[in-house]
Chains A and B, each alone.
Chain A
Amino acid sequence: MFEFRSVSDLNSYAGGLLESHEVLGSVSVSGELTGLSINRQSGHMYFSLKDSRAQVSCVMFSSYAGRLNFRPEDGIKVKITGSCGLYAPYGKFQIKVTTMQREGTGDLMEQYMLLYSRLAEEGLFDADHKKPIPVLPRRIGVITSPTGAVIHDIINTLNRRNPHYDILLYPVNVQGEKCPGDVISGIEYFSKSRSVDVIIIARGGGSLEELFGFNDEELARKVYACDIPIISAVGHEINNTLCDAAADLRVPTPTAAAELVIAAYEDLVNDIANRRILLNMAVKNLLSVHKRRLDNLKNHKALYSPMFYVQKQRNLLDSLEERMLFSGNRLVDREKNRLINDLTALRTGFDSMIRSKQNELRIYIDRLDSLSPLNVLKRGYSCITRNDTVITSVKDLDIGQEIKVSMADGTVDVTVDRINMNSEEDI
């Protein structure tokens, strides 16, 4: 038996053996790349290669890694060459990789991609199926491990942002074979008990294998079918699980889930306060609109002078009356004028008739006058009578007879002295 002075000596010896071994000193092997991390400062790559039963740690120093013509990532299948050795500080068997070639996608990744596209085609990840997350959940269901950072981060975040919360934790294994069944039973429990308004499914980041429970097909279907809105916070930004894709909201971290599951208390209070201010402003504006309308009405003549309308109507009446009278007067005037005309015509006719009758009468009178014997006597003629008989011939007289001579202004009694007969020629 060889006695080593120290663990360092032992590891150093074993490492040397491996490196100088004719087979292990220079190997080539294919496997799925997993657990990749790159040291930002040094640029060295650390990862494991695995198949379904085993895995081996690998390191690829930056001088070799810098020569890669593709971006290595978890899940891809690669073929590497290098030398086996022992990482002394941890006594860890590892391969120092010098070259790496891509060999198509890894099995797990391939499975995931196939399932993803099949479920996507079915509509499990459709945006229009996603339910809104309530603003103010009364109770929050959380499906995660009861130990570890995740539930702690969620509680811390809630304490900081909004202490008015009520959490119901459904404890599950977030890794390993039991994981999908556990999470499914959690979703079923909350769906059945209706005890929460929203569910958070959360897990910290991990490798594709560690998260693989959340790529379970049945789990994805349960998440999709759940009536209660689900926020999925499985893994970190770079990982996207089927659980994330089927959830109503996917967030990168459990902290982000806690931030989105309930609004910050202050924000809620401010929101309602602002809405009250808006409400008051709106009603004030509306009242001032009504007030303006009222003022306009109050300033209207009809209101500050109630007789305005009466006066207006009266004026209207007056003008109507005037117009009626005017037209009435015109009617009466016309009639009157016609009457006057008629009367005038009548009078004129009557007058002229009287005048003509008077003239006629005067003519008759004149004629009568001219026939009166008195008038003849006035002109110097005399009338001789005897015994009241008018003597018109000398033959009717005898000498000595007494006769009466009538003149215009009196009579004379005379006696006939001589009779002188006119000759025939004189008559």
Chain B
Amino acid sequence: MADKKFIYEEAVAELESIVNSLNNGNVSLDDSIKLYSRGVELASLCNDKISEVEKKISMIDRDTLEEIPFEDKGE
């Protein structure tokens, strides 16, 4: 399961709402700087997440319920 601290979809949604708020124009200069910093932070967190997972293929051993490496033998 994804860790509770960072959920990609939520981060993207927050980023989107930040862009919307900034586009709205009704943001004070102070708030806009805070929002922008948060947006940059979210974007870089998302970027990290995209590449975070290392390619891995495992299989459950149905007898032991252990995870064992799986080798794709093709067709």
> Bound pair: A and B?
yes
Interface residues of A (CB under 8 A from B): 132, 134-139, 146-149, 151-152, 155, 159, 163-171, 185, 189, 194-197, 265, 268-269, 271-272, 275-276, 278-279, 282-283, 285-287, 289-290
- When the two chains form the complex, which single residue of A136, A159, A279 contacts B50, counting CB atoms closer than 8 Å? A136
Write the chain A residue with the least CB distance to B31.
A286
Write the chain A residue with the least CB distance to B55.
A163
Contact residues in B for A159 (Cβ distance below 8 Å): 55
Is the CB–CB distance between B25 and A275 below 8 Å? Answer: no
Pair count A-B, CB < 8 A:
123
- When the two chains form the complex, which single residue of A151, A165, A189, A271 contacts B60, counting CB atoms closer than 8 Å? A189
Given A282-B22, A289-B25, 5 additional A-B pairs, CB 8 A? A134-B2, A134-B9, A168-B59, A185-B62, A279-B15
Contact residues in B for A152 (Cβ distance below 8 Å): 72-75
B5 on interface, CB distance cutoff 8 Å:
no
Is the CB–CB distance between B57 and A155 below 8 Å? Answer: yes
Is the CB–CB distance between B74 and A146 below 8 Å? Answer: no
* Chain B, range 1-51, C-beta contacts under 8 Å to A: 1-2, 8-9, 12, 15-16, 18-19, 22-23, 25, 27, 29, 32, 35-36, 39-40, 43, 46-47, 49-51
Contact residues in A for B1 (Cβ distance below 8 Å): 138, 194-197
Give the number of chain B interface residues (Cβ < 8 Å). Answer: 42
What separation, in Å, do the CA atoms of A194 and B18 have in the docked complex? 32
- When the two chains form the complex, which single residue of A135, A148, A155, A194 contacts B8, counting CB atoms closer than 8 Å? A135
Is the CB–CB distance between B43 and A276 below 8 Å? Answer: yes
Is the CB–CB distance between A168 and B15 below 8 Å? Answer: no
How far is the CB of A408 from the nearest CB of chain B, in Å?
122
Among A185, A276, A278, A279, the most chain B Cβ lie within 10 Å of the Cβ of A279
Write the chain B residue with the least CB distance to A134.
B9
Is the CB–CB distance between A285 and B72 below 8 Å? Answer: no
What separation, in Å, do the CA atoms of A151 and B74 have in the docked complex? 8
Contact residues in A for B74 (Cβ distance below 8 Å): 152
* Given A165-B53, A167-B58, A276-B43, A138:B22 Cβ within 8 A: no
- When the two chains form the complex, which single residue of B9, B52, B67 contacts A168, counting CB atoms closer than 8 Å? B67
Contact residues in A for B73 (Cβ distance below 8 Å): 147, 152
Contact residues in A for B40 (Cβ distance below 8 Å): 276, 279
What separation, in Å, do the CA atoms of A366 and B59 have in the docked complex? 160
Is the CB–CB distance between A290 and B15 below 8 Å? Answer: no
Is the CB–CB distance between A279 and B36 below 8 Å? Answer: yes
Contact residues in B for A168 (Cβ distance below 8 Å): 58-60, 67
Is the CB–CB distance between A169 and B8 below 8 Å? Answer: no
What separation, in Å, do the CA atoms of A152 and B60 have in the docked complex? 17
* Given A275-B19, A279-B15, A290-B29, A166:B75 Cβ within 8 A: no
Write the chain B residue with the least CB distance to A153.
B75
Is the CB–CB distance between B47 and A272 below 8 Å? Answer: yes
- Offer 28 A-B interface pairs, CB within 8 angstroms, sorted by A: A135-B8, A135-B12, A149-B75, A152-B72, A152-B73, A159-B55, A164-B51, A165-B55, A166-B54, A166-B55, A166-B57, A167-B58, A168-B58, A169-B57, A169-B58, A170-B59, A170-B60, A272-B50, A279-B19, A279-B22, A279-B39, A279-B40, A283-B22, A285-B22, A286-B22, A286-B27, A287-B32, A290-B32
